Amino acid sequence: MDKKALEALLKDMTIEEKVMQLVQIPGSEYEADAEITGVERGQVKDNVKRLAGSTLGIWGAKRLRKIQEQYMKEHPHHIPLMFMLDVIHGHKTVLPCPLGQGAAFDPEAVRKGAEMQAREAAADGVHATFSPMADLCRDARWGRIMESTGEDKLLNSRMAAAMVEGYQGKDRKDPEHIAACVKHFAAYGAAEGGRDYNNTELSEHTLREHYLRSYGEAIKKDPAMVMTSFNSINGIPATGSTFLMKKILREEFGFQGVLISDWGAVGEMINHGYAEDMKDAALKGMLAGVDIDMCSGCYSTHLEELVNTGAVSVEMLDAAVLRVLNMKNDLGLFEDPYRGCNAETGPVITEEGRQLAREAVAASLVLLENKDKTLPLRKDKIAFIGPFADTKRLQSAWAFSGEDENTVTVWEAASEIYAPENRKVAAGCTMMDQDAVTARGICHVENWQQENDRLLAEAVRTAEWADTVVLCLGEDSTQSGEATSKASLKLPAVQRDLLRAIRKTGKKIVTLIFTGRPLELEEVRDLSDALMICWLPGTEGGHGVMDILTGKCAPSGRLPVSFPYTVGQEPLHYDVYPTGRPKPVNGPFEYTSRYLDCENGALYPFGYGLSYTDFAYSDPKLSAQKMTDAETITASITVRNTGDRRGGVTVQLYIRDVTGSRVRPVRELADFKKITLDPGTEETVSFTIKEEMLRFWTAGEKWASEPGKFLVWICNDSNDGQPLEFQLVKAKGE
């Protein structure tokens, strides 16, 4: 449909029809078993169900085609309904959770993964996904950290941008792609106390310098939608913030697409104490520029009245409706409301998709410890012990459209490799402690203590039989994600008891940690011979893990987020600001910025990760010691594989602006490159330093670089390397 036809359609619509295009209702109104209903079915009035512009939480080619046919038949202008779904890290073929994908430091792989997700979701009738989540996350207590790609703004920016490209492709009408939605705007990851839905308090400097960057880079890829966040920012709910939604998002970032609220967020402005009632909430949402009200009922109940009384102008309403109609038109829904929807087969898990997922798992795993080269595993008797050893629950709570039956467990993958006489499996304990099970109301176990005693005894016998134990521990998928904030980052007590008991057998222990967030692992490190983070790896989790354990490929993942010694350090991140009283490396520590009972930094820092081979860095250099705004400097280093195995490494470039009009971080990731080297070979890795990489939100309230000294590290992680130095000088007359 061309622009004139679309505008003519808008002009011919009634006020009620227009308003309802801005209303999203739960999929349960159309199908009883829709996911994440939020409200009881039947609570939405018939006229809203008949005219609502979009729905969510429902998929399936056959049933969506049926719903669409009925909807278009009843709609006065036969405008198609839009189906949206949380396709976060997979639809049918589930990839590692986004935090795990961040660990690969590979935007191109992330783009390919998003493209596969889009292809599967589109074949199931889905038009749009609520992904990527570009929130900067520095607090492991916040459960939704698993949905981010970590604590660094550069890494998050590249990953979020790649996801948008993968989901949407080059043509939104392509029936194998879907619309992307950048979320949650803004600063949702900075919730106070790491508690979901909570307030955030950020200066404009911190907001711009750190938290807004990844959204901005993702928006440059022209996503169809942006979603508001649940939190308030400096006392104003994000969903009602004209500063965020109009000044930043629309004016500065130039976003032209649809702005949608998160679930019920328009109505929640009442709970925040920012809106008096649903009518006031609808008004404030519209004035802030929110185009679609997701499931709060405020727009459907009160927006028509607000327009008729002049509180909301017809021009404002039309602008919002036109954005929604444009999105539907860009997706080709007016020509084909069933785009990509194969009612006969729906999405199919392919071998190609499984292979992509398997490679993504292997690339995401982060080896933290490998004492005495315990890994890769040798050809001896292996015991796979722990609640994650043979579970199909390897995807996160945000992969609800994936089926457990398609998941390959660690034990299943191991059974393809080891002969029956060389492998055994034992659960060892329940997944969670009894209090956690009771609190969540799930997985009830009769005679809980007796059952754990039995499982522990069985695990000890199994370990005594083995030469090496692969201990599969971690947090259940229900323990991370939305509404799963935690004040403790320890493994469940039953799992820690299992680790201690297995350690007493004297056998080699390879500990695998399956998790959606950083955990406290100091004791786990001390009791393990090898330690590896496996995240929530998804459909091909078992195969990907075994590919690394057996040495089929070497680990190359790097931590996208810092792992603390203790939860008391949270929020924790590497790019901190220097203090006037820094803790000295040597010498007395009194009256300096330090903890009495813990290190300041991370147990395992951002960017950290080991391989099965060793890499030597030599001859770091800069092409010049001075540069102007119009010039560049090349930073380079030679990396050599000094071990006896082929391996990959992520070479990381960090920069520090030593003196500025605002205090600058001790170092910031400026670029990274992944290389793979055979034993005995080397490669010179080069980075180009440009003036725009040196800009920050200055004391003059603008983006600019400032002349002065800069330090550069080319290294393994955020706590590694020796700095080089250069000067940024301004040309005469500037």
Q: Where are the alpha helices (DSSP H) in 75-138?
A: 98-103, 107-123
Tokens of 71: 């909807």
CA distance 278 to 61: 35
Coil, helix or strand at residue 462: helix
Tokens of 578: 């220097």
Distances (CA, A) of 663 to 206, 431, 706: 11, 45, 12
| Contact between residue 40 and residue 11 where contact means Cβ atoms under 8 Å apart | no
- List beta partners, residue 726: 710
629 classed as catalytic: no
CA distance 471 to 31: 42
Tokens of 306: 């607000």
| Residue located via tokens 């070479």 | 651
| Crossing angle for the helix pair 153-168 and 107-123, to the nearest 10 degrees | 40
CA distance 174 to 494: 50
**Strand 468-474 relative to strand 382-385, pairing:** parallel
Q: What is the 3-state secondary structure (H, E, C) of 618-641?
A: EEEEECCCEECCCCCEEEEEEEEE
Q: How far is CA 468 from the centre of its chain?
A: 34
CA distance 598 to 572: 13
CA distance 215 to 228: 11
Distances (CA, A) of 179 to 292, 323, 356, 469, 656: 15, 14, 22, 45, 37
Choose the catalytic residue: 106, 262, 529, 547. 262
Residue 205 CA neighbour count, 13 Å, CB half: 12
CA distance 255 to 216: 9
Tokens of 576: 């901190």
CA distance 548 to 545: 5
- Which residues are known to be catalytic? 262
